[in-house]
């Protein structure tokens, strides 16, 4: 048996080597299609389908609270959490939790940035954590940490690390345990370097322990909806009874109006999944269409080649060869081609996912430690290997069906070849290719148009040479900085070499990158006149902010350094806010009232033009600008901008670092230009548009190859007929039209079917579009025109070849 198999394999290799063009096209087609499918499948598996590496991850949920007035996440205090834990029935286990922070760690081996999870002691049982050394911390430990095995090796090499002292954000702590290899924590990107108690979170002391969320494991038989209902029923009473007595009235009111929420853990914590999950599903659909086009193309190529080999197989059958043996040989051809293609698809898929991973890491402004490892794993590879094998077997089945299911005497006679010889099945494959490729073209056009419209929302920001970064506080430095510090910071940044101007803000342009709810404040007129209460984006800025970004001031004056903590509250309004609250145009000198706990009146000193302050898909919301110095508590981590002159940006970077170091209190991470920030804010759209365009280009190329292959076969099969026509006086233009008409017989139905498919598919991705309708007629017309032009271009070469047939040579061939 093995000898026969080796013989069959050698025969298949010789057969495929004698048809190098066919073999190469099949291998390249399968490699690209399977590689793209494997890459997107790997991304989908890693970013969307992967569950936390803990026991029964489907039972884990995140409990959080949202302040409906300010539209921001609230705090969950430890006393409230403990009181609720003792009365609830929905959760088997619960732990306070905060993740995704970077801390500064110092040890004898050096200084490091480390990722953290901040938890209460019940966390370790909840996630099934295991230790390789030491113990977990308890409620009695307030300066103890557990580190990961990988971080232990970075800090202590071959030493155990247990009992060693390290500083975490300038706080001395003791390493009391090391988690075992394989523990991943609850963040998407991998294990945290440090797991610490809440007592180590920096802040004013003494302060009651609090967290931004709670992790819970649902009790057996309890649904998320049931847990949410119980939480909302019990939480308000428990919270009002357990709020820390020392809280300011403003904080108490904010906590009492919070609305608790329960969500699946991956939805709440895995930001990459929530941001890119839908996009990857859409791309998986596009890749599925690419795979379908590739399969149809391969079936068409196989069908055409089989038609040309009918005579060869008929001779074998006439000489007594076995039909089963012929079928097995053709199946083996398909298997060998698919095996070679799969071998090329794996490194292609790996290269694609690594490139995408690096792009996404950069776009999320995060270290790669926060992003999961993405590579074709065993499950994805097994699925795509099986898919490739199925395609290879299908190619063999098509070839066998065409080669051994017809009468031998018919195959031994030469007959009239035309497109009809391809059969309804073959023509249907080509029509399907054109239709699917047109659908992909429409999708690529819609996503590209969406990207262009979003980018057009902020062309002014992208064109400016502005360098910025967020100025973080040094570890352990928590006291409010005085107004003089900020004044000196702006002055020194503005006067350094290569700089034209400098300014500070708290949020802008961070809003661009936000996919969730934006923080809001509520204002109305203070004079009691009829006016609505409106929700606005709050912004705190320094003097010079509007001039630096060239945002026109329409009325009034700018913020000045005299607008400090001891002076009356003032604000500038965006033009849309002024129109709503003061339709008569008399906003300057009037007062607006801040709703909520502060309930303070604020004088309007100016109006600035509407500009893209909010998300890029909602670029001109209501905004109220207030001086940073009048809200120093919220201005501790400002964005610091420098508009560069025509000099080198590297000069600005170096000067920036020197200024920050000289003033102290701050540490800097990555610098970015405003144009880079907009590009990264649009990363998801650029990612979608780029891959959709790639898929569309490949599908249209495959459709072109399919049509070309069919018509080339048709011309080869009709050489005698074409020679007779030319000998009898037919014009060469008539022969060209005859072949082109065969191409149109494929193109027109394909475009008609593709229009309907594209219109339906576009409606499914409506939520991914911006500024363009799913059924935009211009996009459909452009895609139809490109599809028709592609098919006609593919038809032209065979038609031209047919017109150059020499009648004498064609008749002699018979």
Report CA torsion sign: 577, 580, 583, 588: negative
SS3 of 98-139:
EEEEEEEEEECCEEEEEEEEEECCCHHHHHCCCEEEECCCCC
> Highest-confidence range of 45-49, 226-230, 401-405, 613-617, by mean pLDDT?
226-230
- C-alpha neighbours within 13 Å on the C-beta side of residue 110: 9
Contact 103, 169 (CB under 8 A): yes
Q: What whole-number percentage of the chain has pLDDT above 70?
A: 81
Classified as helix, coil or strand, 238 is: helix
Please report, for the chain, the start and end positions of each structural domain, with discontinuous segments joined by +: 75-257, 415-455+679-814, 472-667
Q: How confident is the model at residue 555 (pLDDT cuts 50, 70, 90)?
A: very high
The region of weakest confidence among 129-143, 242-256, 324-338, 658-672 is 324-338
The β-bridge relationship of strands 623-627 and 666-667 is unpaired
Position 252 pLDDT exceeds 60? yes
pLDDT score recorded for residue 71: 73
Which run of H or of E encompasses 794? helix 777-803
Q: How confident is the model at residue 418 (pLDDT cuts 50, 70, 90)?
A: very low
Tokens coding 268:
């709440």
Q: CA-to-CA distance for 474 and 299, rounded, in angstroms?
A: 64
The region of weakest confidence among 411-420, 471-480, 507-516, 631-640 is 411-420
Tokens coding 539:
């912004």
- Whole-angstrom CA distances from 229 to 71, 259, 260, 262 are 21, 12, 10, 9
The region of weakest confidence among 21-25, 173-177, 419-423, 605-609 is 419-423
pLDDT score recorded for residue 419: 44
Q: How confident is the model at residue 683 (pLDDT cuts 50, 70, 90)?
A: confident
User: Who's near 689: CB < 8 A, 6+ residues apart?
Assistant: 444, 447, 448, 450, 451
The region of weakest confidence among 198-212, 460-474, 696-710, 784-798 is 198-212
> Highest-confidence range of 202-206, 373-377, 699-703, by mean pLDDT?
699-703
Classified as helix, coil or strand, 367 is: coil
Position 529 pLDDT exceeds 90? no
Contact 676, 270 (CB under 8 A): no
Contact 581, 534 (CB under 8 A): yes
Tokens coding 791:
């098919």
Average pLDDT (33-56) is: 79
Backbone angles phi, psi at 805, to 5 degrees: -65, 130
* Core vs surface per residue 766-778: b (16+ CB within 10 A) or e: eebbbebebbbee
Tokens coding 168:
């975490």
Contact 224, 218 (CB under 8 A): yes
pLDDT score recorded for residue 174: 92
**What's the distance, Cα to Cα, between the start and end of the chain in Å?**
42
* Core vs surface per residue 451-475: b (16+ CB within 10 A) or e: bebbbebbeebbeebbbbbbbbbeb
Q: Tokens 């013989």 label which residue? A: 7
pLDDT score recorded for residue 490: 92
> Highest-confidence range of 216-220, 289-293, 510-514, by mean pLDDT?
216-220
Position 356 pLDDT exceeds 70? yes
Average pLDDT (503-528) is: 79
Position 614 pLDDT exceeds 60? yes
Contact 590, 527 (CB under 8 A): yes
pLDDT score recorded for residue 412: 46
Supply the mean pLDDT for the chain: 80
Q: CA-to-CA distance for 1 and 616, rounded, in angstroms?
A: 66
Position 306 pLDDT exceeds 70? no
Position 608 pLDDT exceeds 90? yes
DSSP, res 46: I
Q: CA-to-CA distance for 180 and 161, rounded, in angstroms?
A: 13
Contact 145, 201 (CB under 8 A): no
Q: Measuring CA to CA, which residue among 782, 783, 732, 717 is closest to residue 308?
A: 717
Contact 791, 701 (CB under 8 A): no
pLDDT score recorded for residue 176: 93
Average pLDDT (692-701) is: 84
The β-bridge relationship of strands 171-179 and 131-134 is antiparallel
Position 527 pLDDT exceeds 60? yes
Q: How confident is the model at residue 767 (pLDDT cuts 50, 70, 90)?
A: confident
pLDDT score recorded for residue 417: 42
pLDDT score recorded for residue 596: 66
Q: Measuring CA to CA, which residue among 710, 708, 724 is closest to residue 416?
A: 724
> Highest-confidence range of 176-180, 302-306, 458-462, 675-679, by mean pLDDT?
176-180
Instruction: Read off the pLDDT of residues 708-748 as tens digits, 9 standing for 90 and up.
Output: 777 776 676 666 677 777 777 777 778 788 888 878 888 88
Instruction: Read off the pLDDT of residues 564-601 as tens digits, 9 standing for 90 and up.
Output: 888 999 999 999 999 999 988 889 999 998 886 667 88
pLDDT score recorded for residue 425: 66
Position 368 pLDDT exceeds 80? no
pLDDT score recorded for residue 319: 57
């Amino acid at each position: 048996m093995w000898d026969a198999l080796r013989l069959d394999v050698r025969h298949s290799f010789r057969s495929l080597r004698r048809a190098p063009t066919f073999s190469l096209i099949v291998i390249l087609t399968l490699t690209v299609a399977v590689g793209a499918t494997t890459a997107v499948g790997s991304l989908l598996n890693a970013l969307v389908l992967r569950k936390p590496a803990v026991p029964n991850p489907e039972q884990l949920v995140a409990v959080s609270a949202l302040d409906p007035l300010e539209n921001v996440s609230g705090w969950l205090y430890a006393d409230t959490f403990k009181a609720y834990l003792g009365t609830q029935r929905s959760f088997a286990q619960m732990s306070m939790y905060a993740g995704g922070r970077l801390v500064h760690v110092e040890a004898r081996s050096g200084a490091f940035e480390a990722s953290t999870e901040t938890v209460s002691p019940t966390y370790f049982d909840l996630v099934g954590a295991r230790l390789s050394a030491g113990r977990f911390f308890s409620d009695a430990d307030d300066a103890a940490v557990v580190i990961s095995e990988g971080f232990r090796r970075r800090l202590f090499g071959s030493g155990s690390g247990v009992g060693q002292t390290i500083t975490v954000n300038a706080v001395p702590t003791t390493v009391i345990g090391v988690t075992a290899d394989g523990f991943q924590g609850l963040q998407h990107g991998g294990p945290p370097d440090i797991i610490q108690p809440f007592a180590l979170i920096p802040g004013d002391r003494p302060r009651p322990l609090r967290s931004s969320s709670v992790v819970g494991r649902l009790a057996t038989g309890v649904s998320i909806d049931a847990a949410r209902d119980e939480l909302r029923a019990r939480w308000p009473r428990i919270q009002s009874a357990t709020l820390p007595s020392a809280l300011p009235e403003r904080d108490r009111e904010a906590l009492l109006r919070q609305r608790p929420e329960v969500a699946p853990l991956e939805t709440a914590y895995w930001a990459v999944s929530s941001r890119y999950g839908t996009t990857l599903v859409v791309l998986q659909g596009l890749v599925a269409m690419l795979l379908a086009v590739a399969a149809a193309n391969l079936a068409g190529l196989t069908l055409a080649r089989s038609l040309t080999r009918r005579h060869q197989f008929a001779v074998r059958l006439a000489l007594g060869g076995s039909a089963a043996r012929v079928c097995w040989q053709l199946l083996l051809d398909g298997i060998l081609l698919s095996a070679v293609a799969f071998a090329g698809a794996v490194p292609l898929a790996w290269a694609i996912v690594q490139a995408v991973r690096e792009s996404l890491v950069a776009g999320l402004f995060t270290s790669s430690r926060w992003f999961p490892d993405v590579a074709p794993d065993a499950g994805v590879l097994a699925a795509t290997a099986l898919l490739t094998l199925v395609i290879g077997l299908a190619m063999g089945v098509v070839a066998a069906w065409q080669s051994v299911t017809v009468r031998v005497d018919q195959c031994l006679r030469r007959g009239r070849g035309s497109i009809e010889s391809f059969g309804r099945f073959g023509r249907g494959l080509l029509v399907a290719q054109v239709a699917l490729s047109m659908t992909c073209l429409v999708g690529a056009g819609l996503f590209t148009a969406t990207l262009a419209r979003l980018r057009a929302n902020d062309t002014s920001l992208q064109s400016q040479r502005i360098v910025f970064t967020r100025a973080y506080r040094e570890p352990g430095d928590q006291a409010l900085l005085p107004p003089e510090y900020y004044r000196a910071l702006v002055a020194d940044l503005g006067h350094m070499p290569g700089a034209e101007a400098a300014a500070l803000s708290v949020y802008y342009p961070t809003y661009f990158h936000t996919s969730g709810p934006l923080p809001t404040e509520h204002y109305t007129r203070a004079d009691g006149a009829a006016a609505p209460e409106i929700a606005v984006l709050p912004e705190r800025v320094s003097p010079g902010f509007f001039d630096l970004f060239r945002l026109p001031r329409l009325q009034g004056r700018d913020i000045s350094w005299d607008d400090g903590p001891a002076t009356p509250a003032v604000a500038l309004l965006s033009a849309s806010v002024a129109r709503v609250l003061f339709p008569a145009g008399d906003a300057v000198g009037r007062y607006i009232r801040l709703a909520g706990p502060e309930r303070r009146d604020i004088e309007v000193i100016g109006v600035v033009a509407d500009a893209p302050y909010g998300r890029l898909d909602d670029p001109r919301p209501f905004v109220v600008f207030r001086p940073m110095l009048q809200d120093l508590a919220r201005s501790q981590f400002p964005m610091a901008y420098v508009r560069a002159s025509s000099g080198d940006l590297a000069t600005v970077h170096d000067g920036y670092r020197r200024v920050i170091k000289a003033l102290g209190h701050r540490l800097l991470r990555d610098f970015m230009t405003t144009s880079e920030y907009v590009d990264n804010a649009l990363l998801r759209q650029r990612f979608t548009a780029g891959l959709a365009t790639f898929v569309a280009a490949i599908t249209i190329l495959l459709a072109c190859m399919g049509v070309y292959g069919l018509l080339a076969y048709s011309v080869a099969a009709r050489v005698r007929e074409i020679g007779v026509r030319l000998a009898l006086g037919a014009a060469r233009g008539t022969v060209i039209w005859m072949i082109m008409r065969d191409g149109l017989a494929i193109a027109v139905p394909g475009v008609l079917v593709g229009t309907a498919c594209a219109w339906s598919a576009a409606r499914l991705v409506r939520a991914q579009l911006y500024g363009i309708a799913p059924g935009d007629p211009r996009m459909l017309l452009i895609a139809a025109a490109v599809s028709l032009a592609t098919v006609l271009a593919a038809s032209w070469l065979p038609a031209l070849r047919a017109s150059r047939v020499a009648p004498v040579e064609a008749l002699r061939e018979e």
